[in-house]
Homo-oligomer: A and B are copies of this chain.
Amino acid sequence: MAENQMMGKQSIRLGEAPHIIGNASVVGKKEGEGPLGKAFDLVSTDDFFGEKNWEAAESTMQAEAVQAALGAAGVKAFQVRYLFGGDLLGQLIATSFGLEDFKIPLFGLYGACSTCGEALSLAAMTLSGGYADYAAAVTSSHFASAEKQFRFPLSYGNQRPLAASWTVTGSGAFILGKQGGKVRITEITTGKVVDYGVKDSMNMGACMAPAAADTIYQNLMDLNRMPADYDRIITGDLGYVGQEILISLMKEKGFDISNVHMDCGIEIYDREKQDTHSGGSGCGCSATVLSAKILPMIARGSWKRVLFVPTGALLSTVSFNEGKSVPGIAHGVVLEHC
C-alpha cells in the first residue's frame, strides 16, 4: 500500500487516492430554474420536499441525496463504514435526523459552508488510511431554514443588500471507494480559521475570501504548483463580491488566478434573471455544483485537475449580536481525472 505523505505545512498527498464512485444532487425549485437546472439529479417543485417544516425538508433532501449517490455507486448503505455529514443549522439537526435511517457510523461536521470540503477530506483520509472500503460525504443547506436560523423569518420580507448571497436549497452526496469512477481525490489542504475582522453578515464573500486565499496559497506552496497547474481553482460561495477580493488577495501573494478561478455561488444562479445579488451560498451550494457540474467535467476529461475549495463564514446570530467578527475557513481538495 502506498503511504500517505505530509506535504509542506498543511497539505497531504493520499497514498491510495480514493475515487468518487457515485454522486448525486438534490435541489429546490429556484436552483432548478438556474443555469445548472438540467444537470441536477432531482429538482423538487415543492421546497418543503413533502415535509411539514423547513428543517425536515432539509433532512429529506440529505436522505434523498445519499440514497441517489448510493444508487449511482452501486453500493448498499451497510457497506459504507463512515458517513461524514453536516449542515448549517444549530446542532446539525438536518444531518442528525436526515441520516439516522441509514444506520451508518456518523461523524457530524461543522465548517459552515466549507463543510463539503471538510467532509470530502475526512472521507478520503479514512479510505486512504485503510479504515474503510467505502465512505460517504453529504452536506446540505435550505434557503428557508437558513434565513430562519441566521436572519429573519421569511414572512418579515426584509430587504437584501447587493453584497448578500442567496442560500442554496440543495444537498450533494458523494460515495468514495477504492476503485471505479473517473475522478479521484489526490491531495488535501486543510484550512485554518482566518479572521480579517469583517463584521458584515450580509457580505459573506468579504468574510470568506481571506480564508480562501490562505488555503489556495498554502496549497500552491505545499505542492509546489502554479495556478496554471490547475484547470480550475473553484471556491464554494464567494459570489461576485468575494471573487474580486480573492483575486486581488492572491495577486498580493504573487499569484494570478483570474484565468482559472470559478465560484460555485456564481455558477448556480443567473445573475440577471434570478435576483440573487452576489450569488449562491450555503453548504449545499458547493456540494450540488460539484456533483452537477465539476465532477462531470473532470470525469469526461475536459478538466484534468481541479482545486476545489469550499468556503465557510463562521458566525451565529449569538456571536454576531455580541459584536464578534465573521471569520472564514476554507478546505481544499484536489480532484483529478483518472
Q: Per a CB cutoff under 8 Å, which of B5, B92, B105, B129 touches A190?
A: B105
A327 at the B interface (CB under 8 A):
yes
Given contacts A55-B322, A190-B105, A193-B100, whether A89 and B129 have CB atoms under 8 Å apart is no
A118 at the B interface (CB under 8 A):
yes
Bound together, the chains give a CA A130 to CA B52 distance in angstroms of 46
Q: Chain A 85-108, CB within 8 Å of chain B: the 1/0 string?
A: 010111111001101100111111
21 A/B residue pairs, CB under 8 Å, sorted by A: A3-B130, A6-B131, A6-B133, A12-B131, A90-B90, A90-B317, A91-B112, A91-B316, A92-B314, A93-B314, A96-B193, A96-B314, A99-B193, A100-B193, A100-B195, A104-B192, A106-B192, A106-B193, A106-B329, A125-B131, A129-B131
User: In whole Å, how far is A333's beta carbon from the nearest beta carbon of chain B?
Assistant: 13
A44 at the B interface (CB under 8 A):
no
Q: Per a CB cutoff under 8 Å, which of B56, B88, B129 touches A129?
A: B129
- Chain B residues lying within 8 Å of A192, measured Cβ to Cβ, are 100, 103-106
A253 at the B interface (CB under 8 A):
no
User: In whole Å, how far is A150's beta carbon from the nearest beta carbon of chain B?
Assistant: 9
* Chain B, Cβ-Cβ closest to A189: B105
Given contacts A107-B118, A131-B6, whether A322 and B56 have CB atoms under 8 Å apart is yes
Bound together, the chains give a CA A315 to CA B229 distance in angstroms of 45
* Chain B, Cβ-Cβ closest to A90: B90
Interface residues of A in 224-251 (CB under 8 A from B): none
- Chain B residues lying within 8 Å of A329, measured Cβ to Cβ, are 96, 106, 108
Known: A55-B322, A103-B193. 15 other contacts (CB 8 A): A4-B129, A6-B132, A12-B131, A52-B322, A90-B90, A91-B110, A91-B314, A91-B316, A96-B319, A105-B190, A107-B122, A108-B329, A109-B109, A109-B110, A125-B126
Q: Per a CB cutoff under 8 Å, which of B91, B111, B133, B190 touches A82?
A: B190
Given contacts A130-B5, A130-B129, whether A111 and B100 have CB atoms under 8 Å apart is no
Is the Cβ of B319 less than 8 Å from the Cβ of A55? yes
A261 at the B interface (CB under 8 A):
no
Is the Cβ of B93 less than 8 Å from the Cβ of A91? no
Given contacts A107-B118, A131-B125, A314-B91, whether A322 and B53 have CB atoms under 8 Å apart is yes
User: In whole Å, how far is A169's beta carbon from the nearest beta carbon of chain B?
Assistant: 17
Bound together, the chains give a CA A156 to CA B5 distance in angstroms of 54
Is the Cβ of B107 less than 8 Å from the Cβ of A316? no
* Chain B, Cβ-Cβ closest to A133: B6
Is the Cβ of A109 less than 8 Å from the Cβ of B108? yes
Bound together, the chains give a CA A126 to CA B92 distance in angstroms of 23
A293 at the B interface (CB under 8 A):
no
A128 at the B interface (CB under 8 A):
yes
Bound together, the chains give a CA A56 to CA B319 distance in angstroms of 9
User: In whole Å, how far is A111's beta carbon from the nearest beta carbon of chain B?
Assistant: 5
- Chain B residues lying within 8 Å of A5, measured Cβ to Cβ, are 130
